[in-house]
């Protein structure tokens, strides 16, 4: 369990302090920088976890059937989240849980059921943390990378027990001219003064997009209702991992919502910024990354390091870890993130990893200011 958690503050300065933290069976020793302050678990109003991209490569589907998940990393993540104290209120699994990418919805259904079985047999399933899965492109698209209605319906059927907060999202048609009902795929809800907007970033008929008109109105209504914090969570980021930081220098375009519909992406981001949203949290890029987006103080946080093979980046050594990201909403109104990570197994991404401890890899105050 956590003995201490950390957040960035301009008020308290601590120099060269080393703090021992533990989450159940694994521990970390963290050297704190001069601008970090200590807070106890009693300072947390609530927390939530975001992680995505745990599916395996196509060549490893049979070895990991039926779930097609990186079972070693998924089980370890479930166990470690279950050992967090205080327990997070939510686990948002931000897409690409399974390999999918099939025109056969029956295959997709079997994979999703296999994933559910892993979760429901894990220690996390009996904890108070609420699982809320969000679809990624691998769940809703076929082998030609085009979203189709049967895949959406399969997702909704298999994941129904974990989508109970949905239902207020956009229906088919409307200002966003949606081809299918998105009300349980893109939706919003409030919890203790915090507004969450969950996004399907590949709706049928318009892959690589989100319903900007619905989102803009939803965020404006939330702000009018005087919510304290706003978070958007979806699979594909609005602003992806910078192409110039990848190892492959022939790639010159970010893999994000701006790839196909840059104008819609910009409208979406403007809505986040104008309503003082703390962050959009996403996955899709197989890496942990965070940066402030353009035109304001909204952060883009990518937590796509859940267990899929990582992106080949220029600075591979510092980014070479699987893990998950915790967001702490504090009683004093501030918000911080903590990224937990474990090194990639030397014998391959699916190999046992018990020799690699999970440690804090990044921490940051993301309070809107």
Place of tokens 């958007």: 232
pLDDT in tens, 163-207: 999 999 999 999 999 999 999 999 999 999 999 999 999 999 999
Asked if 27 and 21 count as a contact pair (C-beta separation under 8 A), the reply is: yes
pLDDT in tens, 14-37: 222 333 333 433 333 332 332 344
Q: Cα–Cα distance between 323 and 342 in angstroms, integer?
A: 6
CB neighbour burial string for 278-307, b if at least 16 within 10 angstroms, e if fewer:
bbbbbbbbbbbbbeebeeeebbbbbbbbbb
The mean pLDDT value for 325-330 works out to 98
Is beta strand 187-191 parallel, antiparallel or unpaired with respect to 194-199?
Answer: antiparallel
Q: Cα–Cα distance between 241 and 245 in angstroms, integer?
A: 8
pLDDT in tens, 234-262: 999 999 999 999 999 999 899 999 999 99
pLDDT of res. 10: 30
pLDDT of res. 70: 99
pLDDT of res. 315: 87
pLDDT of res. 39: 59
What is the pTM assigned to this prediction?
Answer: 0.91
Mean pLDDT is lowest, of 4-18, 252-266, 298-312, for 4-18
CATH 3.60.21.10 corresponds to the domain 44-365: yes
| Residue 367 C-alpha from the chain's centroid | 18
The mean pLDDT value for 259-279 works out to 98
pLDDT of res. 3: 33
Q: Give the rounded percent of residues in the chain with a pLDDT score beyond 70.
A: 89
pLDDT in tens, 35-92: 344 456 789 999 999 999 999 999 999 999 999 999 999 999 999 999 999 999 999 9
What are the backbone dihedrals phi and psi of residue 261, each rounded to the nearest 5 degrees, phi first? -125, 70
Q: Cα–Cα distance between 211 and 245 in angstroms, integer?
A: 30
Region label for 327, one of left (φ > 0), alpha (ψ between -120 and 50) or beta (otherwise): beta
- For 154, the token pair is 């399969």
- Please state, rounded to an integer, the average pLDDT across all residues of the chain: 91
CA neighbor of 304 nearest in space, from 137, 152, 165: 137
What string of H, E and C letters represents the secondary structure of the chain? Answer: CCCCEEEECCCCCCCCEEEEEEECCEEEEEEECCCEEEECHHHEEEEEEEECCCECCHHHCHHHCCCCECHHHHHHHHHHHHCCCCCCCEEEEECCCCCCCCCCHHHHHHHHHHHHHHHHCCHHHHCCCEEEEECCHHHHECCCCCECHHHHHHHHHHCHHHCCCCCCCCCCECCCCECCCCCCCCEEEEECCEEEEEECCCCCCCCCCCCHHHHHHHHHHHHHCCCCEEEEEECCCCCCCCHHHECCCCCCCCCCCCCCCHHHHHHHHHHHHHCCCCEEEECCCCCEEEEECCCCCCEEEEECCCCCCCCCECCHHHHCEEEEEEEEEECCCCEEEEEEEEECCCCCCCCCCCCCCCEEEEEEECCCC
Whether the link from the prior residue into 270 is cis, omega within 30° of 0, is: no
């Amino acid at each position: 369990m956590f003995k201490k958690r950390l957040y960035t503050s301009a008020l308290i300065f601590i120099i060269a302090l080393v703090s021992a933290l533990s989450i159940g069976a694994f521990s970390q020793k963290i050297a704190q920088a001069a601008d970090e302050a200590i807070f106890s678990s009693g300072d947390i109003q609530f927390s939530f976890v975001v992680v995505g991209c745990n599916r395996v490569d196509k060549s490893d589907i049979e070895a990991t059937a039926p779930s097609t998940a990186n079972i070693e990393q998924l089980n370890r993540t479930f166990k470690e989240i279950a050992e967090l104290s205080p327990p997070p209120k939510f686990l948002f699994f931000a897409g690409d849980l399974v390999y999918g990418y099939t025109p056969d919805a029956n295959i997709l259904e079997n994979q999703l059921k296999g994933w559910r079985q892993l979760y429901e047999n894990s220690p996390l399933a009996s904890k108070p943390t609420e699982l809320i899965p969000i679809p990624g492109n691998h769940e809703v698209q076929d082998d030609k990378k085009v979203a189709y209605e049967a895949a959406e319906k399969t997702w909704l059927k298999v994941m129904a027990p974990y989508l109970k907060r949905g239902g207020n999202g956009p229906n088919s048609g409307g200002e966003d001219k949606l081809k299918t009902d998105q009300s349980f795929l893109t939706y919003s809800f409030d919890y203790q003064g915090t507004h969450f907007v969950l996004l399907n970033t590949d709706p049928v008929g318009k892959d690589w997009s989100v319903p900007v008109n619905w989102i803009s109105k939803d965020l404006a209504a939330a702000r009018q209702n005087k919510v304290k914090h706003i978070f958007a969570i979806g699979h594909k980021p609005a602003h992806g991992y910078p192409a110039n930081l990848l190892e492959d220098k022939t790639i010159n375009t970010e893999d994000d919502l701006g790839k196909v519909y840059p104008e819609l992406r910009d409208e979406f981001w403007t809505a986040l910024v104008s309503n003082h949203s703390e962050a959009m949290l996403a996955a899709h890029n197989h890496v942990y990354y965070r940066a402030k987006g353009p035109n304001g103080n909204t952060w883009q946080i990518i937590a796509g390091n859940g267990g899929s093979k990582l992106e080949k980046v220029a600075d591979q050594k510092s980014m070479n870890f699987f893990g998950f990201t915790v967001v702490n909403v504090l009683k004093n109104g501030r918000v911080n993130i903590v990224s937990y990570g474990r090194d990639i197994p030397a014998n391959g991404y699916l190999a046992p990893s018990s020799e690699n401890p999970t440690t804090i890899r990044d921490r940051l105050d993301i309070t809107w200011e």
